[in-house]
Amino acid sequence: LSPGQRQENESKEGLGSHGGAARGGMELPPLSLHAAPGNEGFANTSAVHPLDPLSLSELETAGLLAGSAVALATREPLPSLRFSDLSLLEPPKHRLLTFRGHAREGLPRIALATAYSVSSGKVYRVSVDLHARSTGRVEHVPNVQPPFSPEDYEICEVVVRGHAGFRDAIQGAGLNPDKVMMDPWSVGYFGPQDAPSRRLAWPLMYYKERTEDNTYARPLEGLRVLVDLLKRTVVEFEVEQGGIRVASPDEAPYMTYPAPAQQRQDLRDLLVMQPEGPSFSLRGNHLYWQNWSLRVNFTAQEGLVLQMVGFKDNLKAQGGLLRPVLYRVSFAEMVVPYGDPAYPHYKKNAFDAGEDGLGANAHSLSLGCDCLGTIHYMDAALGPLAPGGPARVIRNAICIHEEDAGMLWKHKDYRTDTSEVRRARRLVLSFMCTIGNYDYGFYYNLMQDGTIEMEVKLTGILSVGNLGPSDLGSASGHRPYGTTLHCNRGKGTGLFAPLHQHIFCARLDTCLDGVANRVKEMDSHPSSPGPSNPHHNAWTVQERLLTSELQAQRDADLAKERFWVVESSGAKNRTGKPTAYKLVARDPIHIMARDQAAFLRRAGYTKHTLWVTAYQPQERFPGGEFPNQDPRPLCGLPLYAAKDRPLVDKDVVLWHVFGAHHVPRLEDWPVMPFEKVSCVFKPFGFFDASPVLDVPVATKRQMLLSTSNRHVHTAPTPRGNHHKRQSFPDLSLCPQSRL
């Protein structure tokens, strides 16, 4: 389709449209927000904005222009080009901070394309001005490999299946080659053999006899295979000395889910009712809820991104003053290193964002299955995989809904026997992705008191391995590098789950009451014994100003109840102190691998709980822009911080590292219940008083509705808007899932 036809179709489908938001199925009047001078851009509630993600027509136009420019400048055949990324190049921050215009007047609309040639293996970058329909200079990016694409996964499997040695080895073990399942993994970088001059992948293999079986229940080991994705050939193939190993069906328990008749029969319906619709409003990608104002975005690497995040302070001015909190916040990277020294487990060091893409692997969410209640869904648009190809759409990629969050505050006066209590709500913005065996839910939980919680929920299926006689015959009777899930000591076989860690990095580009901020480390210390502490109960909080990037590489310290505070350089609260937020490390994690571990060349950011750097728009990812097969000894955050730039009263970025230290349990098999990890960014003298005093008492109607399940309401879907509102699903719509 031509861009014009595509745009017309987008309007018909609701994709890329920016019509007025709806609430309770009714049109809302325009919001009127006010911000202090210099921060006016945070109060811009326009439905069409320079930060809006590229529409389908823009993505396809950019793909055509970028592909043609690369082919013309480099003589690469146009059919050989692929895009690893094609997305909006965000306008300069200083322009957006004061941008109060409507639509996008005065600001360029630029797409940035990263392309690689499947003929030469070279990687190129080029920008596209969508207003002028012109391209910038094509740049060659040497010595890098882009993240995997859907085509790469398919190539790896097709090449291995077509390899005669593979089929002979599998058949020689008495197995059917067509029943071998493969998950392609990046080789990472263990030495010169993994240099990015080749685009490499290795398959992790499993044996699956029936469609309904758990794909990951029977790992197939004993084969070492390496694939060159560009040459589409197997470059290394080895059958290990012990031969091919795979558990028999009776040695791989829980290969399927229980049938419906075997499931619990005493669980009654729990309905979430909002007869008047939710309390938030959406105009295009602008979201407003309970004094929060922000913009919703989505990228292939990070997934869901929040931008221009501000909070309307009703204590500051009549009608409220919208105060900046965060310019941009995202889950920027994650790595999952495994702790078993044997092949293939030592090679499992997946950079799920940088090597695969959190957003690129996002789900289309299902009402009642993934999200419950009155839901707004937003679609995500990703760039075409090749010039001239269609843009990709992930329907219902983002879920937005309100949740009851228990009590917000309460006090009972025992003298008068009266109570004041308020119920709390939170607004949840989320997406989910599956990368191989694991599923991840990424959540931004906005609280009514100005707190933001960034939460990750881990589920899915453990990546397991086979046990042998040497493991079961050891002194402990188990393999020390994991948890035994099943064993047959008579046969000397079994199944185990290796130890591993899930390490996430949240990137918080702060803008506390303006772009100039400073960061302090706060440690609690018991006071020394003496005249000033006669009862030995005193303790104080000591502040340490983080003045430069090398100093601002900090670790959690439970003994000191350490947290970090971001202060405004100009604004003061009513006590004369700088307005501030604090970052609480709820789930800090200590990397277990030694410093010499190969993957730490690319994952140096995991060595500290907090990094603070000076803002640079190019410094977006803690593992670097191209972690796939990256040979550099210094990349990403350690490279950024090595510049040792000053941080006091500057535009700063916080990088918080947190995660799950996973010693697998029997209860994690065959599918893992959600494991939650999170961090919190909350007001710390930002407001002059509690910002939730004005939250109303729950009405009698609300209390009656909460005790009744007789009425089910479905709010209408607003016309011409791609934010689809639905509620109260028939749970029979959730398919009976199978592993």
Q: What gap in Å lies between CA 664 and CA 661, rounded to an integer? A: 9
Say which of 438, 481, 581, 605 is annotated catalytic: 438
Q: Looking at this protein, which amino acid is placed at residue 367? A: L
- For 436-584, strand residue ranges (E) read 438-447, 452-460, 465-467, 482-488, 493-498, 500-510, 517-526, 539-545, 553-554, 563-572, 578-584
- Supply φ then ψ for residue 9, to 5 degrees: -65, -35
The number of residues in the chain equals 739
197 φψ region: left (φ > 0), alpha (ψ -120 to 50), beta (else): alpha
Task: Decide if 629 contacts 187 (C-beta within 8 A).
Answer: yes
Interaxial angle between packed helices 164-172 and 150-161, expressed in degrees from 0 to 180 and rounded to the nearest 10: 60
Rg (CA), the chain: 27
Burial (CB count within 10 angstroms: exposed 0-12, middle 13-18, buried 19+), residue 499 = buried
Q: What gap in Å lies between CA 423 and CA 434, rounded to an integer? A: 34
- Supply φ then ψ for residue 63, to 5 degrees: -60, -45
Cis ω before 578 (30° cut-off from 0): no
Task: Decide if 739 contacts 213 (C-beta within 8 A).
Answer: yes
Active site residue 438: yes
- Supply φ then ψ for residue 435, to 5 degrees: -130, 100
Active site residue 581: no
Tracing tokens 């709806």 back to the chain, one arrives at 22
CA distances from 54 to 9, 298, 302, 449 (A): 15, 10, 16, 33
CA distances from 5 to 13, 68, 131 (A): 12, 21, 18
The full DSSP string for 57-107 is: HHHHHHHHHHHHHHHHHH---GGGEEEEEEEEEPPPHHHHTT---STTTTS
Paired tokens of 112: 């940035």
Residues sharing a CB contact under 8 Å with residue 572, sequence separation 6 or more, in sequence order = 578, 579
The DSSP element (H or E) to which 420 belongs, if any, is strand 418-435
CA distances from 126 to 86, 93, 141, 248 (A): 10, 21, 10, 52
Q: What gap in Å lies between CA 240 and CA 246, rounded to an integer? A: 13
Residues sharing a CB contact under 8 Å with residue 528, sequence separation 6 or more, in sequence order = none
Say which of 152, 194, 352, 471 is annotated catalytic: 352
Task: Decide if 209 contacts 249 (C-beta within 8 A).
Answer: yes
Catalytic residues: 352, 438
